[in-house]
Chain A
Amino acid sequence: MAETPAIRVSNLRVMRGENLVLPDLSVEVASGRVTGLLGPSGCGKTTLMRSIVGVQIVAGGTVEVLGEPAGSPALRRRVGYVTQAPSVYGDLTVGENLAYFSRVVGVDSARARETAALVGLEKMEGRIVGSLSGGQRARVSLASALLNEPDLLVLDEPTVGLDPLLRADLWQTFHSLADAGASLLVSSHVMDEARECDDLLLIREGRLLRQTTPGELQVETGEQDLGRAFLQIIRDAPSQAGQGAGS
């Protein structure tokens, strides 16, 4: 495995307000794979993703993305980021949103239509985004990040709130992107989604509990159900907060 990882995080330390959200995180994410970033709400998934795309002020450590420091200008054409809350213009139509982001990343309108179709929005280009359902809006946000076929996609809970059919479609899309050479980091607080990923990062309270794969996790815990397997890992791990406050 001489290939450079898509993401290399070393001793990352992030404060948000008064909270030490990531005390000292080190992890590598392999390229060309779909890596799941799983952990309960509030564990620091969004904070880690923000650090990777270079919009988070960090207190220490380094984050390297595709061989460059996170947030460096060259990466702005190579990394796609989809925030947890859909970040598109609610007062524009689907087509107008995609047309704008196409111009910003420098792709043509044919590609914008192709991308709309990729996430199942092909018949909705004339609809105002604000009048769409939450799941549809999330797909507009996702499509905007897929326009220029980035080498790394950082997707913050992209499947939350979507119906099961659509969710399955999206995971299939993620894998076909990975097959085409992209690397994907996908977060979720729904542990069942672990089975859709090639690799897994399990996080709790800003610490990496495990870097594993769905198969290894099942073997380790003896649980077929990945949701229960993760719960078991979480319960067995000592809580840092508990240790600090106790004794």
Chain B
Amino acid sequence: MSPSITLATGIRVLRQIRHDPRTIALLLLVPALLLTLMKYVFEGQPHVFQQIGAPLCGLFPFIVMFLVTSITMLRERTTGTLERLMTLPMSKLDLLLGYAIAFGILATAQAVVICLTGFGLLGLNAPHGALLVGALAVLNALLGMALGLLVSAFARTEFQAVQFMPAFIFPQLLLCGLFVSRDEMAPALDAISWVMPFTWAYDALERAVSPGTLDGRIALDAAVVVAITIASLALGALTLRRRTP
């Protein structure tokens, strides 16, 4: 592993995104716009907007980073640049951490925009501070990035990669407790939800935006999110093969 190559990779990924203003707009503005839309959809039920909108500020970055990373990595695989990098003095960790640096910076920018919009402009409440939600959003974005890197190994085309979104994200969104509290679901679903990354991400966010004192549980949630991120990166590293058929 070489810090200079890791950093160069992070800069390279950021430069790729900089050349694509539409992706930047997608990353920064779309979540804020959707949140704004949601405020007016729930105009008659402000408590529902608080209940769903506030945690969503921390979940959007997960979804967007998952999508952007899986496609960026898939391109790296299909255009032959990954094969070239694997013939060069670059370790897999350089590549993965380079991605993590680039998308970590982007995720922070995204979290700032969505938290300012939600907790500043749209009047959502963060009893324990918007900063806590923002920090969780960045952790979730890195989780999304790690899972995106991993699933990119299972897609052949960008079209397939986009399909992973409904296949992989929607069930988690439904089961995580955001729309229906998990103890009201069929017991089997509640059991399944325990092994889904989203559930832990949502649980932390829900605690962060609810009144009352915070206990150690939110730290446990965050620790689980970080652990899943590291495990996915490790699995992702296994899918980066120097030798292929």
Give 1 or 0 for each of B89-121: 1 = CB within 8 Å of chain A CB: 110000000000000000000000000000000
Cα-based distance from A53 to B243 in the complex (angstroms)? 10
- How far apart are B77's CB and chain A's nearest CB, in angstroms? 11
Cα-based distance from A56 to B242 in the complex (angstroms)? 8
**A56 / chain B contacts, CB cutoff of 8 Å:** 243-245
**B242 / chain A contacts, CB cutoff of 8 Å:** 54-55, 71
**B19 / chain A contacts, CB cutoff of 8 Å:** 91-92, 128
Given contacts A57-B244, A128-B19, contact A76 B81 (CB under 8 A): no
- How far apart are A102's CB and chain B's nearest CB, in angstroms? 9
Is A103 engaged at the interface, CB distance under 8 Å to the other chain?
yes
**A210 / chain B contacts, CB cutoff of 8 Å:** none
**B16 / chain A contacts, CB cutoff of 8 Å:** 89, 91-92
Is B83 engaged at the interface, CB distance under 8 Å to the other chain?
yes
- How far apart are A192's CB and chain B's nearest CB, in angstroms? 27
Whether the pair A105, B87 counts as a contact (CB closer than 8 A) is no
A78-86, A157-165, A232-240: which lies at the B interface? A78-86
**B window 214-245: CB within 8 A of A:** 242-245
Give the number of chain B interface residues (Cβ < 8 Å).
25
Cα-based distance from A54 to B12 in the complex (angstroms)? 25
Given contacts A57-B243, A57-B245, A85-B80, contact A104 B85 (CB under 8 A): yes
Whether the pair A17, B83 counts as a contact (CB closer than 8 A) is no
Cα-based distance from A76 to B92 in the complex (angstroms)? 14
Whether the pair A83, B83 counts as a contact (CB closer than 8 A) is yes
Is B88 engaged at the interface, CB distance under 8 Å to the other chain?
yes
Give 1 or 0 for each of B169-195: 1 = CB within 8 Å of chain A CB: 000000000000000000000000000
Is B122 engaged at the interface, CB distance under 8 Å to the other chain?
no
Beta-carbon nearest neighbor of B82 in chain A: A87
Whether the pair B87, A17 counts as a contact (CB closer than 8 A) is no
Whether the pair A54, B243 counts as a contact (CB closer than 8 A) is yes
Cα-based distance from A17 to B242 in the complex (angstroms)? 18
Beta-carbon nearest neighbor of A144 in chain B: B84
Whether the pair B90, A104 counts as a contact (CB closer than 8 A) is yes
**B244 / chain A contacts, CB cutoff of 8 Å:** 55-57
Whether the pair B12, A76 counts as a contact (CB closer than 8 A) is no
Cα-based distance from A55 to B88 in the complex (angstroms)? 11
Is A28 engaged at the interface, CB distance under 8 Å to the other chain?
no
**A window 53-97: CB within 8 A of B:** 53-57, 71, 73, 76-77, 79, 81, 83, 85-92, 96
Whether the pair B243, A76 counts as a contact (CB closer than 8 A) is no
Beta-carbon nearest neighbor of A74 in chain B: B89
Whether the pair A87, B79 counts as a contact (CB closer than 8 A) is yes
**B4 / chain A contacts, CB cutoff of 8 Å:** 103, 106
Cα-based distance from A231 to B83 in the complex (angstroms)? 33
Given contacts A92-B16, A100-B8, A103-B5, contact A54 B87 (CB under 8 A): yes
Is B155 engaged at the interface, CB distance under 8 Å to the other chain?
no
Whether the pair B243, A71 counts as a contact (CB closer than 8 A) is yes
Given contacts A71-B243, A103-B5, contact A55 B20 (CB under 8 A): no
**A103 / chain B contacts, CB cutoff of 8 Å:** 4-5, 8
Is B15 engaged at the interface, CB distance under 8 Å to the other chain?
yes
**A window 88-144: CB within 8 A of B:** 88-92, 96, 100-101, 103-106, 128, 144
Beta-carbon nearest neighbor of B83 in chain A: A55
* B89 interface neighbour in A54, A76, A91, Cβ under 8 Å: A76
Whether the pair A92, B15 counts as a contact (CB closer than 8 A) is yes
**B8 / chain A contacts, CB cutoff of 8 Å:** 100, 103-104
**A55 / chain B contacts, CB cutoff of 8 Å:** 83, 86-87, 242-244
Point out residues on A near B: beta carbons under 8 Å.
Answer: 15-17, 53-57, 71, 73, 76-77, 79, 81, 83, 85-92, 96, 100-101, 103-106, 128, 144
10 tightest A-B contacts by CB? A87-B80, A103-B8, A100-B12, A76-B89, A87-B84, A83-B80, A57-B243, A81-B87, A91-B16, A87-B81
